[in-house]
Structure formats: C-alpha cells, structure tokens
C-alpha cells in the first residue's frame, strides 16, 4: 500500500508526524520520534534563547482532550537547528521540520536569517499562533501583521517554509487569510494550533486546572476535530495548489487521519493523543489507516486525498 505524502519536493513514507510542542522539546524525545513509524517530525517551537515557559501545572489531560498553557518552554533556537543539521547528516535521504515562534517579528527574522545561511535542508515552520504567552496576541489573528511579517521574510528567505495558523471560525476570515497566504511562495500551511483560551473547570474543587492565565489555555484533542477539519478543508479549497495543507487537531486513530486526508491534508499531525500514548501510537494509527484504506479499496492516499464529497 502506498502511503507516500509530499510537501513541495519532499516525499515522506507516510503522512504521520507529531504536532509541534508534543514529544519534541528534549533530544531524547526527538530521538524516539526519529525511531518511531512517523513519516517525519517537527521540533518544539523555538525562541532565540532558551525559555522556561509558564508556571505549572500547565498541561492537563481532560475528558475529551487537553488544555495547555506551556508558554513556549524550549531549549533555544541553536539547539533545534543543531539537532536538525545532525539528523540530516546522519540520514541524508530524510528531512525534518524546524519550528520557530519568536516573541516578536525581529526574533523571527533573526532566526530565519540563521536558517537561511545555514546548511539546513529541511522545512521551516513559522508558528504564528501560540495562544499562551501572556501579553502576546496571536499574530495569525492580525491579518495586517501576518502579511507584514511574511513580506519581510520573503525579502531574503530562500528556503522551504510553512506557517502554523490558529483556527478561524468565519468564512470571511478563511477568505481573507487565504488571499494573504496566496501572495507568498509558501510550501504549506498547518491547520490548526490549539483552540486558544478555553477554560476547563474542575467542579469538585470549583477551580481552574492550569495555573497560567488564571486557567485559560489552548484546547486540543477530540474537542477540536471538527474545527481542525473545517480549517483544513477551507484552506485546501482556497489556497493555490502549490501550497499544501498539514492537518492537526483531534487525531486519535486511523479514522481521524483518514478524515483529515479526505479534507485535503498532505501530512497529519498528532498532539494530545501522542502525549498520552507515546511514539508507539504511530504504529497503531498507521495500521488503522491501512485497514480503512483496504476496506474501501484504496491503494494510495492520492486515491482519496481532498476528495470529500458534497451531498
């Protein structure tokens, strides 16, 4: 069975990978992803310098998913660039995604300049949608700021790049954001980051469950699948065909992956459920996907990718 997926000129054995932030902060975690069945992996969103992130508790599993306010804890940009360079030297036929999330536009430009002048051959992900840094709005909800940063980036940046978007909930916003993204030579857009600033409450203790921002945090898992699928579909149908879509949100099993692919995703990321099960999840989900494809008589993902039917 052919599970091959592509982003730009890169080909991956299968469409599965981690969602940035999950199982990818430490070298040991990245090593485990490397050894897993995932088609590739993405590193934790980096800031120029190492960050501790928000106070704990800051990630809690809740009945239908998770709530988090990590606040971009990471080991600093150089660590993830070095890791990625080592990975590509050891595995010349493979590449990974390198995620960055500066605290401001200048941070992003500084990191992108370093990537541009490095030997990095993989794909950069510009995270425009972290909901968890107190006082920092999500750039992806500011259409002017999004267009401005992309214009600044493409004045010099020559390498493959995609953007990680927050979820949108209005057709006007799908239209406006897609029109902006279509102006740039992006390789992909990633839909979606967590649904920002939800509030999960523990009724017994009558309290919030995470400490930062008085309990407000990004929601992931089953809660967000319909929103994620809507965003994948909305951007798949609006973006120029050379811009791929990566689907992220609510993936727990092969059926969820199938649905993201049907909506048009090239790659499908797993976050909350990866945090729960660990990297062996990729074996299970891949075999579930193959079972569904076999039942439906599909030999390759391209047989059904994007072909969601109307009624």
Residues that bind ligand OXC (CB under 6 A): 21, 45, 68-72, 127, 129-132, 193-194, 218
β-bridge pairing 195-199 and 216-220: antiparallel
Residue with the two structure tokens 């009558």: 206
Least distance (Å) between residue 273 CB and ligand OXC: 15
Question: Given 24, 130, 191, 248, which residue is catalytic?
Answer: 130
β-bridge pairing 161-165 and 123-127: parallel
Would residue 191 show up in a list of annotated catalytic residues for this protein?
Answer: no
Taking the CA of residue 292 as centre, how many other CA atoms within 13 Å lie in the half-sphere pointing to its CB? 18
Burial call 40-63: b when 16+ CB within 10 Å, e when fewer: bbbbbbbbbeebebbeeebbbebe
Phi then psi for residue 277, to 5 deg, are -100, -20
Angle (CA) 128-124-84 rounded to 5° is 130
Least distance (Å) between residue 47 CB and ligand OXC: 10
If the CB atoms of residues 48 and 185 are measured against ligand OXC, the closer one turns out to be: 48
Least distance (Å) between residue 45 CB and ligand OXC: 6
* 235 within 8 A of 178, measured Cβ to Cβ: yes
Residue with the two structure tokens 């606040």: 71
If the CB atoms of residues 40 and 45 are measured against ligand OXC, the closer one turns out to be: 45
If the CB atoms of residues 197 and 290 are measured against ligand OXC, the closer one turns out to be: 197
Residue nearest to ligand OXC (CB): 218
If the CB atoms of residues 14 and 20 are measured against ligand OXC, the closer one turns out to be: 20
**Active-site annotation, residues:** 130
């Amino acid at each position: 069975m052919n599970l091959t997926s592509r982003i730009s000129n890169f080909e991956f054995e299968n469409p599965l990978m981690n969602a940035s932030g999950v199982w990818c902060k430490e070298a040991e975690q990245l090593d485990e992803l490397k050894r897993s069945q995932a088609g590739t992996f993405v590193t934790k969103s980096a800031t120029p310098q190492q960050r501790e992130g928000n106070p704990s508790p800051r990630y809690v599993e809740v009945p239908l998913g998770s709530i988090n306010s990590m606040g971009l804890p990471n080991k600093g940009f150089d660590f993830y660039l070095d890791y990625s360079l080592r990975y590509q030297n050891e595995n010349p036929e493979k590449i990974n995604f390198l995620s960055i999330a500066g605290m401001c536009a200048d941070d992003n430009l500084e990191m992108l300049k370093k990537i541009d002048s490095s030997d990095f051959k993989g794909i950069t992900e510009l995270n425009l949608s972290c909901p968890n840094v107190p006082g920092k709005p999500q750039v992806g909800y500011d259409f002017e700021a999004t267009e401005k940063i992309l214009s600044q980036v493409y004045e010099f940046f020559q390498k493959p790049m995609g953007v990680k978007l927050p979820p949108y909930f209005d057709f006007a916003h799908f239209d406006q954001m897609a029109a902006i993204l279509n102006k740039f030579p992006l390789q992909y857009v990633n839909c979606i980051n967590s649904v920002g600033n939800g509030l999960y409450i523990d009724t017994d203790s009558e309290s919030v469950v995470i400490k930062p921002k008085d309990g407000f945090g990004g929601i992931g898992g089953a809660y967000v699948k319909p929103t994620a699928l809507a965003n994948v579909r909305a951007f798949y149908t609006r973006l120029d065909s050379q811009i791929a879509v990566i689907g992220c949100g609510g993936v727990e099993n092969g059926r969820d992956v199938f649905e993201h692919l049907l909506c048009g995703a090239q790659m499908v990321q797993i976050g909350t459920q990866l945090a729960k099960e660990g990297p062996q999840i990729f074996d299970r989900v891949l075999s579930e996907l193959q079972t569904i494809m076999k039942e439906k008589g599909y030999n390759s993902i391209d047989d059904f990718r994007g072909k969601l039917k109307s009624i």
